[in-house]
Structures are given as C-alpha cells and as structure tokens.
Amino acid sequence: MEDKAQIQEAIKVQGEVVRKLKSEKASKEQIDEEVAKLLELKARLGGGDDGKHQFVLKTPKGTRDYNPKQMAIRERVFNTITRCFKRHGAETIDTPVFELKETLTGKYGEDSKLIYDLKDQGGELLSLRYDLTVPFARYLAMNKITNIKRYHIAKVYRRDNPAMTRGRYREFYQCDFDIAGQYDAMIPDAECLKIVHEILSELELGDFRIKVNDRRILDGMFAVCGVPDDKFRTICSTVDKLDKLPWQEVRKEMVDEKGLSEEAADQIGEYVSLHGGMDLAERLLQDPRMSQSKQACAGLSDIKLLFSYLQLFQVTDKVVFDLSLARGLDYYTGVIYEAVLTQAGVAPASNDAQNGSEESVSVGSVAGGGRYDGLVGMFDPKNRKVPCVGVSIGIERIFSIMEQRAEAAAEKVRTTEVQVLVASAQKNLLEERLRLVTELWNAGIKAEVMYKKNPKLLSQLQLCEETGIPLVAILGEQELKDGVVKLRVVASREEVDVSRSDLITEIKRRTSEA
Amino acid sequence: MEDKAQIQEAIKVQGEVVRKLKSEKASKEQIDEEVAKLLELKARLGGGDDGKHQFVLKTPKGTRDYNPKQMAIRERVFNTITRCFKRHGAETIDTPVFELKETLTGKYGEDSKLIYDLKDQGGELLSLRYDLTVPFARYLAMNKITNIKRYHIAKVYRRDNPAMTRGRYREFYQCDFDIAGQYDAMIPDAECLKIVHEILSELELGDFRIKVNDRRILDGMFAVCGVPDDKFRTICSTVDKLDKLPWQEVRKEMVDEKGLSEEAADQIGEYVSLHGGMDLAERLLQDPRMSQSKQACAGLSDIKLLFSYLQLFQVTDKVVFDLSLARGLDYYTGVIYEAVLTQAGVAPASNDAQNGSEESVSVGSVAGGGRYDGLVGMFDPKNRKVPCVGVSIGIERIFSIMEQRAEAAAEKVRTTEVQVLVASAQKNLLEERLRLVTELWNAGIKAEVMYKKNPKLLSQLQLCEETGIPLVAILGEQELKDGVVKLRVVASREEVDVSRSDLITEIKRRTSEA
C-alpha cells in the first residue's frame, strides 16, 4: 500500500500543473496527458467520496481512441497508400498481433526492452509484435516462400516514452511494403524509393527529401577510418544521432563514451558531412582511403546503379546520397533510406510555435527502410536466405499533420456518407418513412430516418445541416396522395416534387456527381 | 525440467496421430493443428541435432496468418459489410487493442477467465480487449457521448479452446454496429435486424434464420415458473445450451446441477419450445401465467412493436420469435437476437462429413446482439445511462465458409489487381521497360515489370497466366523505332500495335470494363 498523504501531495502538485497549462492555453493533447496523470493519482487513492465508481476512465498510457473525424482522415490516408501499393502489384497478408516471444528475441538489439510481453497464464510465452518486418520474415520461413511482393498495414506496439503531441504512441500503425526474392541488383530497391516518392507526393505533405546510404558503405568507412570491428554497431548508433545532435556532440560521444580515437572520429566526421548524388558515389569510388574497402566499393557501385534506375523512375529530384544516414535496426545489410519532411510549413498545434525550427525538425522521419538479406535465414532451420528489401511508412506522424491541417483550415470533415434523409412534414408518418427508407436501402442508397415517431421538420432539416446530408426526401399527406416525394436540396433549399417511381433514379443522378 | 523420455514417448504418439490423419486424407487445418502440437513437443526437447536454430516456427496457439488468397476473400467480405453499415449512416471509431484491466473487470461474468492479461512490466495493468462492446461503452462514457451510430471492425482476443476447423480462434475479427441514444422504442432495434438481414443475404451464405427474444420475457418467464430470483442468471445460461443439447439434458442440468424443482423445469420446458411471430407474442400476452409478469408483458409488447417495424423493413420472412434464445452475456437488458445458417449445404472441410447434420449445426451462429441499456452507466461516475442496441457479425465463420467454397469451386482468386505487365521481347531493354512502367504508374495504372535485366518473353507471359494479369505491353527494337507498343491480351493472345501516345487511354479502356 502507498502512503495516502504522499499521494494527496502528488495530486495537489499535479493539479497545479494542469491549472497552469490551462491558463497558458497549452495544446489539448498536452492538457489531456496531464489530466490523465491526475486521474491516475486520484484512482490510486481509491474509495473516495463518490462510492463504487472510483476507477480511471482512460485509455492506456501512450494510446488513444480515434473518433469518427479522425477515422475519416485516417481512411483517406490509408486509401492513398493502399492504392499506391496495389498500383505496384503488391498482395497483402496479415499476421497475429502477438508472436511467440522467442520469435522476436534477438532481432531488435537494445530496443528489445520496449517489447510488450503477455502475462504467463499457462501455455506459450507471447509478446506483442514490435514491427511488421520480423513477423513477415517468420511468415516467409514458415511457409517456405522465396518470392513475394506484399504490403501489410497493421498496428505495432512499443513500450516507448510516448510523445503524443508529436505523433509518437505506444500503439501505432505501420504501412509496410516489401519485396522478397533473388533478383537483379537494385531494381526492387529503386521501386521502394519510387513508392515513397509517390505516396509523399500524393499526400501533399509539403517538400521532402529521401536520404539514401548503404550499410556496406558505413562499415567500409568505419574500417578505413580505423574503427575496431567490434565497435562498428555502437559507432553506427552514434552516427544515427546526427539528425538530432550537432557533430561536436556526436564526436564527443564517440571519443569520450565509446572510446574511439580522436583521429578516427575526425576522419568519420569528414565523411559523414558529405551528401550528393551519383557524382558523390563516383568520387568516393576514387577516394584513396574509401577505395581500399571492398565492402564500401560494392556499396558505392550499387548506389550508382540505384541512381541510374531512380532517374528512369523520375524521382532523383528528392533523393540524396547522405553518408550520415545510419538507421537504428540491426538487421539491415545493404541499402538504407529515410524520408524527412523539410517544410517548416507544418504548423505545430501547441504553444511551442515560437520555436518553429525545432518543431519542424521534430516531425522528422515519415518513412524508412532498407535491405535485410539475412533476417529470413534466422528463422530457417537450414539458414536458407531470402533477400528482402522494404519500406515502412510512419503513418502516425502523417495523421498528426493532416489532423492539424484540417483543424487549422476549419475544414468540415464528413464522418458519414449518407445521401438522403427520409423526413416527414406532419405527424403519424413513421410507417411511411420506414417504408420509403427500406425502398432506398434496398436500392443501395445511403439513407437515414430519425428514430422518433413524430420528429419536427425543422429538427430533421437541422440534422442534415449538421452532418452534411445533401438531400431530404420529405413525405406529407398531400405527397402521399399524389404519389410523389418532395426532394429538397439542403444547400440551395430548392424543392421539387418527384414521382415515387422516379425517386431512386433521381437521387442517384443527383448524388453521383458529388 | 520435464522428463526427456516422457516427451520422446509423447512425440512418438503424436507422430502416429499425424501419420494417421494424413493417410485418412484429413483436412489441411486438422493436420496442421496436429503437426503444430508435434513441433511444440519437439521444441520442448530442446537442443537436438540441428544446433542453434531449434525453435518452433509457428504462430501462437489459436491464431493464424492470412495468406494473400485469404486476404482477398476477407477484403470482399469486409467491403460488403462496410458498405451496408455506411448505407445505414454509421460513422466508425477505433480503440486500442488493450484496455486498463479494470475497464474489463466485472463485465463478462464467468467468461472473464478467458481474458488475456499483459505482463506487469511496471506501469498500468492491461488486458487485451475481449469484445468491441465494452470498449465502445468506455468510449461513450469517457467522451460523454449520448448518441452515436457507429461501426467498428477489429480483432478481439479470447483464451478459449480453439476449434480452428470450425472457424473458432483465439484472435478473431468482430464487425460491430451499434446505436446509442434515447430514441422511440424498437426503431433502432429493428434497424439492427434489417442490417443482419441485408448482410447475410448479400453474402449469399444460403438460407438463414434470425431468432429474437427479450431478456425481460425470459426473466418474467422464470419468475412465473417459480425460479428463485438468485437463480435467473444461471438458469438462463442453461437455457442458452438448447441450441446444442436436447431438452431432456437441459432439464437434467436445471434439476440435478442447479437444484431447480421439477415442476418449474417442466413449466420452462413448455415455454421454451414455443416459436412464432407477432401472433405468438399476442398469445402470450393473454397467457394466464405469463401475463402476471409486468416485465414479460413489457417485453412481449415490444416484440409486437418490433415485428410491425420488421414488416415495413421487409425482413419478417427470416425472423422468428423464439423463447429458447437466451444468449450468454450478462449485460443485455432487452431485445436479444442471433442469426443462424440453416442450410446443410455448407460443406464441412473435414472427414466428419458423414455427420452432416451435426456439422451444419456447428457452423451455428453467424451474428448476434441485443439491447444493453446499463453498460455505459457502469463507466459513468454519476451512473448516467445511455441506452444502446447493437449487433456483431461473427466474421470468422463466414470466412471459413467462403474459403471452403472457393476451394470447392476451384475458384481462381486473384491476389493482386495488376492490369498490365511491361515486358520486353529482346535483351538489353531494362531501361526502356522501367521508363514505360514509370509512365503507366504516373498515370495511375497498376503495372509491373519483372526484376530481371533480361527476362525471357515466355517467362514474362507465364507470369501473367499465373497471376491473372490481363494485358502485356511488349517492347522490342522495332516497336521502339516505330514509337509503338505491342499490346497483348493474355486470354485471347490477340496482339495489336498501339502508338505510345495512345497507350494509357487504350489500357484504361480495356481494363475499365473488367
């Protein structure tokens, strides 16, 4: 049991935090987060004055519900992405949300501590999936599939420190596209970049860059700069911080924390400042030091080949060969890439708008991926390899941007697709309304009635205004006698009598152009 | 540690089981299940002769992957269901896959033992959602929403004993449609039944029945038959078994296990054998015993009203008022319903085909739901009630039927939507192929190239045959010189030269009718 007084003190402090944020007009997300903490504290006090209903009414830390408006935006984004994946001929698969714990073991390096485990309730030990790549590799090995082009859109789970205002959650969607199979070099790799280019362009998120590098170039560079073999991975992790930290701090970590020599660090520093296109790859192939590494040369030749295909795909305008790109995950073996939004035009929702430049950096990476030729082999009893390359679209950040934008533009997002409300002008017409709406449903028209025996005409019309229903089919004594329906256009308030037998055709005609 | 010899013995026995099933040509699912058990046993032996890769390559018990073919079928079913929900004006929401453990506590009665808990890794205690109804109620209370019509299609989790051949899994989809709000009686309830009718008709699963009853009628019936108040729920659970057990066994359980008097049991027996339509409700309202219960009368009047709306909705052909319908869950307060497929025409996949009648029963319920007016109030600190009624489509059983059907009909299910393969007739045309496929992608056409520098024309044509791509755009030296592309129709082998500038229009024309 906790000390009651201690919790009460904590509640007082947390209450102050919430009041302060509110008075500063902080963002809704930020306030919600702090209110949630407050509620949690109150719940820990237990009992309380309200009696039995003293529990916390919230979603788990780092998660959220999607309301209908958010779902409408989410659906639009998913449709754009799915259309692109299908345009490139991908199939789709699905895997369970949890895997055997051992399936995930040893695949994520240091990040393994962020994996959610299920409670041992007897039976197998299970963990929630951490990404879609490892389950994909498990699926390929288990079904002995040696080539496939598939996409998978699903939620993954990480016990990370959530930063929800910036679109970082513990439960979040990934949209993955991967090509598995033994093919001629760099063709599938180039298609992955083409896909990123298409999706980011179509979503109109503003300008972006796709950084490209190769694990073999990084390893070769480390070798020729004198990094000991056993420090490749850890130095690679430090290089990975260059998008957040200035070189001086990265250098410091290399030398002070990781024990690298100053000379090696400085040599690395020269290389990682380089970025360019095919020309840079050519120059580095001539570089006296770099050219000593076979690995680096293989990577550089492939970058050259990659760029030649990217030219044919018409996407070189956004792609940069950037030697500072490292990427965190252990399993990459060749080309790696990461897409970032470069426009500061993305308005942050909260008050730290003053700090615009920092905020625009923090939106950061919206897609990333690379080649992982060894992962499937880790699951195969005979270690048979299946070369793979893929890309993952970081959809939550994209949602955040789209939502902020819809809010800023005060855009009216419709959350239903109803085409017509069946309404009545007088009392006692419920049966007639139900009869008519049945006719419409049976003809495939999206229609509603109010669930009231005798709704007022005005409240029926108001419902249409509020929810964006474009048409009203109004029934009255006279209309029923004449065998017509009064069809009202909500926007223009225009009304026409349509004969009952023409009504369906007329509604379809009027809504097909919308 | 387990006894090695014991496990080895178990492996021997299990090996026999698998061999036997194979020789009997049992269904793939059945064999897979037994093979999985065998692999699990082998894994428990550990170490073994193959060295380090001695882990089990499988999905967790009671779960499965969906391959592209299954996904194509799943997508079709989801589209039909979603279209229907949208036709009825529903919005959609999403909630996290896990909830605070306490959110689920006390909502499912005995079934609570089937809830998956997450491991306590510090922080909140979490459980995987067990259905979509409780999270929906939590969402309404948390956001103080008093009326909404929403659908939610998502996975739920139950640590049940899986029977995968019959479509029973530990991870499975639910498709829920619910109407929350204070409305005039039975209008939303009737719409839920209309929706079940539309979906089951559209999916063409064969004939079906929708059984309807009311918790108030059940409770009233128990009261007038002399069941003590504190035995209502447990006797209700026993009645719920009537779709699987004959009356004699159900009676036995009531009397011997639950301690009900023989007279009470026999009186119940008379009532639960009744089924009919509006006429039955009218008859029971006159029944000397039943009419003594206020509750029962309220339920019976509402059933009458419900049937009058169902007549207007044109669905009474499939709806039966059935006093034996009880449904398991605790939270129902009014109307309840359940849809069952009645056709034995659904071919069972496995060998127990001889036992046709039993199998056709076991496909059983494909949709169910009812009114739950108290659930939201359980989450509200002030116990404010939000009346709700809803229905859940049991999609896994429907998938199983559709899959079996596709297999039986040897139906060729396409898993991609590719319209055209860009191919070459000679060597060294990779760049030209990439250039052309880029043109097509940029015009929104679904297109592919083979990831080879110099693929043979024959293998390119074979790929189209195998995957159902209807068109091939063939490039050769001559075509490039003439500024044309040879467009080949895979089915008819017809070939025409199309000028490069007309190609996109021509492909769109030829594939729009497909």
pLDDT of res. A422 = 98
Four-CA torsion A87, A88, A92, A95, nearest 10 degrees: -130
**pLDDT in the model for residue B4:** 67
Please compute the mean of the pLDDT values over residues A357-362 and round it to a whole number: 38
* B430 contact residues in A (CB cutoff 8 A): 187
Q: What would the mean pLDDT of A160-165 be, rounded to a whole number?
A: 74
Give A400's contacts (C-beta < 8 A, 6+ positions apart): A166, A167, A363
**Residues A350-369: what's their mean pLDDT?**
54
Assess whether pLDDT exceeds 50 at residue A350. Answer: no
Cα angle A188, A86, B499; round to 5: 80
Q: For residues A268 and A249, what is the distance between their CA atoms, to the nearest angstrom?
A: 14
pLDDT score at A54: 56
B468 and chain A in contact, CB less than 8 A: no
**Cβ separation of A60 and B380 shorter than 8 Å?**
no
Closest chain B residue by Cα to residue A137: B57
DSSP sequence for A10-70 = HHHHHHHHHHHHHHTT--HHHHHHHHHHHHHHHHHH-S-SSGGG-S--SPPTT---B-HHH
Does B150 contact A67 at a Cβ distance shorter than 8 Å? no
* Cβ atoms of residues A346 and A360 within 8 Å: yes
Half-sphere exposure of B432 (CA within 13 A, CB side): 21
pLDDT tens digits, residue range A214-255? 999 999 999 999 999 999 988 998 998 888 899 999 999 999
Provide the chain B residues 210-229 that lie in CB contact (below 8 A) with chain A.
none
Which two tokens mark B511? 């594939």
**Residue B176 in 3-state DSSP?**
strand
Placement of tokens 């990682």 in the chain:
A272
Cβ pairs bridging A and B (under 8 Å): 240
pLDDT attached to residue A17: 83
Average pLDDT, stretch A433-447? Answer: 97
Give the number of other Cβ atoms within 10 Å of residue B251's Cβ.
18
Q: Is the model more confident about A353 or about A298?
A: A298
Q: How confident is the model at residue A358 (pLDDT cuts 50, 70, 90)?
A: very low
CA B13 to CA B22: how far, in whole Å? 15
Residue A347's pLDDT band (cuts 50, 70, 90)? very low
pLDDT exceeds 50 at position A199: yes
Encoding tokens for residue B208? 């079906």
Q: Report whether pLDDT(A282) > 90.
A: yes
Give the phi and the psi of residue B89 in degrees, each rounded to 5.
Answer: 80, 25
A393: distance to nearest CA of chain B, Å? 19
- Distance, CA of A215 to CA of A335 (rounded, Å): 6
Q: Which residues of chain B have a CB within 8 Å of the CB of A441?
A: 87-88, 194, 198
- Mean pLDDT, consecutive 10-residue stretches, chain B (514 aa), reads 66 82 78 78 57 72 95 95 98 98 87 92 94 97 96 95 76 97 97 98 94 96 94 89 90 95 95 95 96 96 98 97 88 95 58 37 77 95 93 91 86 90 96 97 97 96 95 96 96 96 96 69
Do B98 and A63 lie within an 8 Å CB cutoff? yes
Predicted local distance difference test score (pLDDT) of residue A49:
44
Q: Does B194 touch chain A (CB under 8 A)?
A: yes
Nearest-CA distance from A41 to chain B in Å? Answer: 12
pLDDT per residue over A480-512, tens digit each?
999 999 999 999 999 999 999 999 999 999 998
Q: For the stretch A115-145, what's the b/e string if a residue is b when 16 or more beta carbons lie within 10 angstroms of its beta carbon?
A: bbbbbeeeebebbbbbbbbbbbbbbbbbeeb
Q: Do A416 and B89 touch (CB under 8 A)?
A: yes
The answer to whether B123 faces chain A, any CB pair under 8 Å, is yes
Using the beta-carbon criterion (under 8 Å), do A142 and B57 form an inter-chain contact?
yes
Is the Cβ pair B417, A126 closer than 8 Å? no
Would the pLDDT of A438 be above 90?
yes
Pick from A282-286, A326-330, B379-383 the range whose average pLDDT is largest: A282-286
Tell whether A318 lies on the interface with B, counting CB pairs under 8 A: no
Instruction: Please report the DSSP string for B86-133 in residue order.
Output: HHTT-EE-B--SEEEHHHHTTSSGGGGGGPPBBP--SS--EEE-S-SH
B92 and A86 within 8 Å at the Cβ level: the answer is: no
CB contact (8 A) between residue B434 and residue A88: no
- Phi/psi for A481 (5° steps) reads -65, -40
pLDDT band at A467 (very low <50, low <70, confident <90, very high): very high
State whether B93 and A116 contact (CB < 8 Å).
Answer: no
CA B468 to chain centre: 28
**Whole-number pLDDT of residue B355:** 39
Per CB-CB distance under 8 Å, the chain B contacts of A312 are: 431, 434-435, 438
CA distance B337 to B390: 10
Surface of B (380-439) touching A: CB under 8 A: 380-383, 415-418, 430-431, 434-435, 438
By C-alpha distance, the chain B residue nearest A94 is B66
Amino acid symbol at B358: E
- A86-134 pLDDT, tens digit each: 999 999 999 999 999 999 988 887 788 899 999 999 889 999 999 999 9
B446 to A50: CB separation less than 8 angstroms, yes or no: no
Neighbour count for residue A273 (Cβ, 10 Å) = 12
What tokens were used for B177? 């449609």
Dump the DSSP string for B408-421.
HTT---------EE
Q: Mean pLDDT, to the nearest integer, of A324-341?
A: 90
B452 alpha-carbon distance from chain centroid: 41
pLDDT value at position A343?
A: 76
